[in-house]
């Protein structure tokens, strides 16, 4: 569910290299070189160390998210010069050097460097250096490397002052790039990578067409961005809002007509479509290819949104009551009741089914239905003692559950610092503070982002020098990480501490 380090497979590295080759060739192409390369060589049929130094030093600072050392810059310029002389092509040499920089561990990995001396205010802690702090801020808020201005603030020392850091964070929060960062976080947190393998039976669900999957993902992310950033709404209201956006492919499942493109849409007050849980993304992603699944939906709600761990089913479970049910059992509620008669299954299903059954008015692709097998659907249930009668009531119960905002706080903090919450005294103290501030701020996510980014914990690392290690099995990556003085990290939104359901 979370990681503080990550490796790259051989096939992924091949993809990186193919992309790097394509990018480098585009940069030096005749159509773009005059715009992207700030100098021209004395002769195009050989090396020009001066022009190569000027270009590679400038672009390397952005790619590696810090200025290159003299030795690093000399190495990449030597690569460009040697290749240019061999090919008798200055731009060919520049392309090869740029490709090498693009696939370097310094580019591929986020490498946290700490200051040489421990934090004098916090025993056992070390602070990120200014350039690592700039990277941590930019990947947290923008899901991208730092821009020129943030790197200049790191280099001048402004980022290491409270006022300078606050100024930088406020600028980043005002930027349009914040939307990219928020989309990336929720895309990760809600497990939308699973859309790449989502399949539905076309005979059962003919309305689930080719555009439905990307549009379902986009609908959820548009709703999130609009509610949290444009409207600056209460995070909890994402689960009760009736405002969303529709495309023609989604409108087919919603049973309404909309023009081409994306259209703002207000769901009627008598509809059961309320909040994220009743959108096509959640409903279709957490269901089977040919049926709905209260179990999968309840499990996803607990684990993704409430940070509660649901135990895995024991081996050799008999699923015949579900997969080959008694024909007299017309609804999923009746089939699950029969399945829970097995005491081995009852424990887990007791904590997920009463939630997921609240969404049973929506089939396996999220289309509304009032009956199943000729019987009216009963969508009532409970969430940790809170009863509800339908999907709208479930949305309100989720809205009111204190675990909902606490889970977001934990996930955002984990995402920001690049590793899972370990649930020790220090992390619990930090999360308790962030929880309280989030509530005081009206559960507004931009304010929470600012609180996390400006907290002392955000800029601290605890690895002592002797424990610093590399994230990858490759010698090159190991050398880079060892030289950097800290482990490379990948931001994982699912890295929050997961509590068992009681």
- The mean pLDDT value for 438-444 works out to 98
Contact assessment for residue 228 and residue 445, using Cβ atoms and an 8 Å cutoff: yes
Calculated CA dihedral for residues 276, 278, 280, 286, nearest 10 degrees? 90
In the predicted structure, residue 153 carries a pLDDT above the cut 60? yes
Distance separating alpha carbons of residues 460 and 126, to the nearest angstrom: 6
Q: Assess whether pLDDT exceeds 70 at residue 335.
A: yes
| Residue 322 scores a pLDDT above 70 | no
Query: Greater confidence, 21 or 312?
Result: 21
Predicted local distance difference test score (pLDDT) of residue 477: 36
- Span 226-251, mean pLDDT? 98
Is residue 264 scored above 60 in pLDDT? Answer: yes
70 burial via Cβ count (<10 Å: 0-12, 13-18, 19+)? exposed
Cα(389)–Cα(282) distance, integer angstroms: 20
> Of the ranges 313-327, 359-373, 464-478, which one carries the lowest mean pLDDT score?
464-478
Q: Which residue has the higher pLDDT, 338 or 229?
A: 229
Tokens of 408: 């977001």
Q: What is the band of 316 on the pLDDT scale with cuts at 50, 70, 90?
A: low
CA 311 to chain centre: 24
Report the DSSP beta bridge partners of residue 110: 489
* Mean pLDDT over each residue of the chain, to the nearest integer: 88
121 band by pLDDT with thresholds 50, 70 and 90 = low
Residue 353 or 37, more confident: 37
What average pLDDT does the segment 253-274 reach? 95
Summarize the confidence of residues 75-93 as an average pLDDT: 98
pLDDT at residue 126 in the model: 79
Which pLDDT does position 89 carry in this prediction? 98
Backbone angles phi, psi at 163, to 5 degrees: -70, -40
Q: Report the pLDDT value the prediction gives residue 297, as an integer from 0 to 100.
A: 96
* pLDDT > 70: percent of the chain: 83
Of the listed ranges 158-167, 173-182, 313-322, 410-419, the one predicted with least confidence: 313-322
Residue 1: what pLDDT? 45
Dump pLDDT digits (tens) for 358-412: 999 999 999 999 998 889 999 999 999 999 999 999 999 999 999 999 999 999 9
pLDDT at 488 over 50: no
375-376 and 381-383 strand pairing:
unpaired
pLDDT higher than 90, residue 191: yes
Residue 291 has pLDDT above 60, yes or no: yes
SS3 of residue 395 by DSSP: helix
- d(CA 231, CA 253) in angstroms, rounded, equals 27
pLDDT at 286: 97
pLDDT at 50: 97
Backbone angles phi, psi at 491, to 5 degrees: -75, 125
Element (H, E) at 253: helix 248-254
* pLDDT of amino acid 452: 98
Identify the pLDDT of residue 350: 81
């Amino acid at each position: 569910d979370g990681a503080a380090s990550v490796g790259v497979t051989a096939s992924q590295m091949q993809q990186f290299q193919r992309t790097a080759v394509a990018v480098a060739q585009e940069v030096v192409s005749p159509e773009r070189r005059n715009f992207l390369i700030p100098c021209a060589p004395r002769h195009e049929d050989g090396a020009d160390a001066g022009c190569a130094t000027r270009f590679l030093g400038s672009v390397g600072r952005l790619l590696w998210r810090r200025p290159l050392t003299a030795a690093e810059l000399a190495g990449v310029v030597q690569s460009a010069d040697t290749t240019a002389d061999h090919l008798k092509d200055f731009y060919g040499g520049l392309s090869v050097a740029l490709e090498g920089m693009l696939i370097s561990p310094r580019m591929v990995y986020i490498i946290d460097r700490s200051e040489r001396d421990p934090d004098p205010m916090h025993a056992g802690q070390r602070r990120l250096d200014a350039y690592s702090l700039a990277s941590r801020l930019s990947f947290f808020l923008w899901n991208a490397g730092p821009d020129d201005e943030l790197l200049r603030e790191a280099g001048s020392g402004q980022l290491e002052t409270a006022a300078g850091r606050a100024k930088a964070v406020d600028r980043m929060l005002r930027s349009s790039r914040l939307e990219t960062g928020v989309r990336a976080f929720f895309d990760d947190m809600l497990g939308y990578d699973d859309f790449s393998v989502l399949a539905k039976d076309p005979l059962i669900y003919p309305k689930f067409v080719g555009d439905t999957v990307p549009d379902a993902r986009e609908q959820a992310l548009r709703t999130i961005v609009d509610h949290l950033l444009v409207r600056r709404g209460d995070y909890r209201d994402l689960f009760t809002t009736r405002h969303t956006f529709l495309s023609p492919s989604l409108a087919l499942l919603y049973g309404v007509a909309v023009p081409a493109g994306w259209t703002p849409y207000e769901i009627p007050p008598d509809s059961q479509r309320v909040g994220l849980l009743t959108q096509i993304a959640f409903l279709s992603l957490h269901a089977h290819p040919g049926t709905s699944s209260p179990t999968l939906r309840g499990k996803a709600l607990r684990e993704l949104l409430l940070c509660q761990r649901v135990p895995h089913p024991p081996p050799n479970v008999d699923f015949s009551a579900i997969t080959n049910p008694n024909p007299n059992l017309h609804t999923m509620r009746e089939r699950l009741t029969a399945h829970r008669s097995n005491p081995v299954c009852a424990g887990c299903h007791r904590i997920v089914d009463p939630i997921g059954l609240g969404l049973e008015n929506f089939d396996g692709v999220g289309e509304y239905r009032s009956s199943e097998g000729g019987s009216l659907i009963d969508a009532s249930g409970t969430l940790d003692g809170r009863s509800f009668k339908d999907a709208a009531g479930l949305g309100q119960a989720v809205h009111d559950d204190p675990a909902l905002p606490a889970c977001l706080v934990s996930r955002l903090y984990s995402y920001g610092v690049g590793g899972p919450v370990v649930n020790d005294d220090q992390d619990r103290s930090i999360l308790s503070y962030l929880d309280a501030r989030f509530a005081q701020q009206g559960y507004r996510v931009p304010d929470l982002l600012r609180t996390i980014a400006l907290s002392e914990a955000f800029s601290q690392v605890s690895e002592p020098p002797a424990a610093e290690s590399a994230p990858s099995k490759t010698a090159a990556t190991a050398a880079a990480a060892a030289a950097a003085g800290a482990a490379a990290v990948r931001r994982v939104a699912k890295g929050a501490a997961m509590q068992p359901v009681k």
